[in-house]
Amino acid sequence: MIENNKSKQDSEKEGGEIIVVKNLSKKFGSNVVLDNISLGIEKGKTTVIIGPSGCGKTVLIKHLIVLLRPSSGEVYYKGVRIDNLPDDKLNKVRTNFGFLFQGGALFDSLSVAENIKFPVKQHYKVTERSGLDELVKTKLSLVGLEGYQDYYPAKLSGGQKKRVALARAIALNPEVILYDEPTTGLDPIRSDVINELILKLRQGLGPTSIIVTHDMTSAYKIADRIIMLYEGKIIADGDASHIRNHPHPVVQQFINGRIGEDDLAVLRASGTIFQTQYLPRDFEK
Ligand SMILES: Nc1ncnc2c1ncn2[C@@H]1O[C@H](COP(=O)(O)OP(=O)(O)OP(=O)(O)O)[C@@H](O)[C@H]1O
Ligand SMILES: [Mg+2]
Q: What pTM was computed for the model?
A: 0.83
Measured in angstroms, how far is the CA atom of residue 280 from the centroid of ligand 2?
A: 37
C-beta of 203 in contact with ligand 1 (< 6 A): no
The pocket of ion ligand 2, defined by CB under 5 A, consists of: 58
Which residue pairs from 131-136 have beta carbons closer than 8 angstroms and sit at least 24 positions apart in sequence?
135/171, 136/112, 136/167
Protein residue closest via CA to atom 5 of ligand 1: 28
State the ligand closest to the CA atom of 49: 1
Best CA proximity match to 232, nearest among 9, 10, 39? 39
Predicted local distance difference test score (pLDDT) of residue 217? 87
Predicted local distance difference test score (pLDDT) of residue 6? 43
Binned average pLDDT, 10 residues per bin, the chain of 285 residues: 45 68 97 97 95 93 96 97 95 90 80 92 71 91 91 91 90 90 80 84 80 90 95 95 93 82 64 48 46
Domains of the chain as residue ranges with CATH:
6-96+204-283 (3.40.50.300)
Q: Strand, coil or helix: what is 171? A: coil
State the ligand closest to the CA atom of 180: 2
Q: What is the 3-state secondary structure (H, E, C) of 208-238?
A: EEEEECCCHHHHHHHCCEEEEEECCEEEEEE
